[in-house]
């Protein structure tokens, strides 16, 4: 059994047995738990730590673990109603008041309740993560001379060079900043390129986390529809003319949530339209390393198009996180000209720098023989899982329309029958024991139809995919 799943299972077992002990009563020793449940001492320690964080047990070094006493009733809360006035007043004079809403993001970050299958996750299941390779890389990195010192604010030169080669074209290391994950890089880009109150063009549908970033910065997301070939250039040109926007955020490769790849002819048009509008294209290249085994040659990043990027139209964001672990937050932010200097200044103000040990570990990981092996393994497994999910959906849920089967990424985008409430279906699915993602948060304006997004990367394997679809069938029978 995988370590993280062992911890969860042991914590659940111990939680169920707590009633056997009176408050303050001592639990069996760690050695006893190791022998009884046939797990490692680390698993026992982490499971007890999880229960301690929940306030169910108290651990005392050298003495053991004890059942916690029932919590006393909480003291009456102070009057915080004044905060509503203060927080709402801060944007009273803004053209577009800031809206800080993380609800669309937490769906893919929050762990589902015990026993619920996770078809909503945005990251690889632990069994697909290169945990051993990352641990080895971090151990080697920690022994490097100067590994715990202060890194250059822009990032380690060797890591910037590796990211530049990954992007390709004429992008050089001097045009790359190392950032703390894609979410931070996108936030930095939007703050650098658009003043508060400005419109920003976004794909429709698009990643809810990006919409949250824009609204938190006081920007106004303006949707531009996407079809199976990516954003529609004619509507993009219309949106630039109508709004005067100077930024367009897009995911040209395996777009979230549709899985679309921007067609070759459209790539040229998008860059031409942006240049004529005097605007930036922020390229979120978030899953390039999660290509499926049956995919053909991938298009280069937009930032690699030499002639188009010569004048700095494209600001590129490319992360290692999706292909490794949610905690491996290392990302490239690439640009040219004054935009690069502004990005650098905002990043320094916000975060100073990415911790050097993590940058050193990234260098160790991508330079090791384990890295290409990991990518090949994930590529094959994602194809297998995608095929298992599409087969199960077509067999058991034919009423859910799947218009596009992607050759990369980790999810499918399904249209629900007309009149279906995606929120109601999400709730019914949770009651049936499967977590799914409603489509509404992916639209910055009124959605044209109800959708859901299903992930095939966050579960343990094809068996859980089949069972998840079976449970979703029960939820659909309740709602549809």
What does each of the 480 residues of the chain score in pLDDT, given as a tens digit? 455 567 888 888 898 888 888 888 899 998 899 999 998 888 888 888 888 877 888 888 777 888 988 766 554 555 555 545 554 555 555 566 677 777 777 766 777 888 899 999 999 999 999 999 999 999 999 888 888 999 999 999 999 999 999 999 888 899 999 999 999 999 999 999 999 899 999 999 999 999 999 999 999 999 999 999 999 999 999 999 999 999 999 999 999 999 999 999 999 999 999 999 999 999 999 999 999 999 989 999 999 985 555 678 999 999 999 999 999 999 999 998 889 999 999 999 998 999 999 999 999 999 999 999 999 999 999 999 999 999 999 999 999 999 999 999 999 999 999 999 999 999 999 999 999 999 999 999 888 899 999 999 999 999 999 999 999 999 999 988
Domain range 103-128+372-479, its CATH number among 3.90.1150.10, 3.30.450.20, 3.30.530.20, 3.40.50.10490: 3.90.1150.10
CA 48, CA 40: separation in Å to the nearest integer?
13
CA 219, CA 199: separation in Å to the nearest integer?
6
Residues of the chain with CATH 3.40.640.10: 132-366
pLDDT of amino acid 57: 86
The pTM of the full predicted model, rounded to 2 decimals, is: 0.83
pLDDT of amino acid 105: 73
CATH topology of domain 132-366: 3.40.640
Residues of the chain with CATH 1.10.10.10: 3-67
Supply the CATH classification number for the domain 3-67: 1.10.10.10
Residues of the chain with CATH 3.90.1150.10: 103-128+372-479
């Amino acid at each position: 059994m995988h370590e993280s799943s062992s911890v969860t299972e042991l914590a659940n077992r111990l939680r169920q047995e707590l009633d056997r002990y009176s408050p303050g009563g001592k639990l069996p020793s760690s050695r006893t738990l190791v022998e009884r449940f046939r797990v490692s001492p680390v698993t026992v320690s982490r499971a007890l730590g999880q229960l301690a964080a929940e306030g169910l047990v108290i651990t005392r070094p050298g003495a053991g673990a004890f059942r916690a006493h029932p919590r006393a009733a909480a003291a009456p809360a102070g009057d915080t109603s004044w905060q509503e006035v203060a927080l709402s007043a801060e944007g009273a004079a803004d053209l577009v008041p800031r809206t800080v809403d993380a609800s669309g993001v937490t769906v893919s970050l929050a762990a589902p309740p015990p026993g619920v299958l996770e078809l909503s996750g945005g990251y690889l299941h632990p069994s697909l993560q290169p945990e051993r390779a990352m641990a080895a890389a971090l151990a080697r990195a920690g022994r490097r001379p100067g590994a715990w010192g202060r890194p250059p604010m822009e990032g380690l030169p060797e890591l910037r060079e590796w990211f530049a080669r990954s992007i390709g074209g004429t992008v050089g290391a001097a045009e790359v900043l190392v950032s703390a994950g894609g979410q931070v890089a996108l936030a930095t880009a939007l703050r650098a390129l658009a003043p508060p109150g400005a419109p920003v063009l976004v794909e429709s549908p698009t990643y809810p986390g990006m919409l949250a970033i824009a609204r938190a910065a006081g920007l106004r997301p303006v949707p531009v529809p996407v079809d199976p070939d990516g954003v529609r250039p004619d509507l993009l040109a219309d949106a630039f003319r109508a709004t005067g926007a100077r930024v367009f955020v897009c995911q040209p490769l395996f777009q979230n949530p549709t899985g679309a790849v921007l067609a070759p002819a459209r790539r040229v048009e998008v860059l031409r339209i942006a240049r004529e509008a005097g605007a930036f294209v922020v390229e979120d290249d978030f899953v390039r390393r999660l290509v499926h085994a049956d995919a053909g040659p991938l298009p280069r990043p937009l930032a690699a198009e030499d002639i188009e990027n010569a004048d700095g139209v494209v600001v590129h964001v490319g992360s290692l996180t999706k292909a490794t672990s949610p905690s491996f937050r290392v990302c490239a932010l690439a640009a040219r000209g004054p935009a690069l200097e502004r990005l650098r200044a905002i990043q320094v103000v916000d975060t100073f720098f990415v911790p050097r040990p993590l940058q050193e570990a990234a260098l160790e990981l991508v330079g090791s023989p384990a890295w290409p092996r990991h990518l090949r393994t994930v590529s094959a497994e994602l194809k297998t899982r995608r095929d298992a999910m599409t087969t199960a959906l077509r067999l058991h849920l034919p009423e859910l329309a799947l218009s596009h089967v992607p050759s990369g990424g980790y999810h499918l985008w399904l249209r629900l029958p007309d009149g279906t409430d995606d929120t109601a279906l999400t709730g019914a699915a949770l009651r049936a024991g499967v977590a799914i993602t409603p489509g509404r948060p992916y639209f910055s304006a009124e959605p044209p139809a109800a959708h859901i997004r299903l992930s095939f990367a966050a579960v343990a394997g094809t068996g859980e995919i089949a069972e998840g679809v079976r449970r979703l069938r029960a939820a659909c029978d309740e709602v549809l």
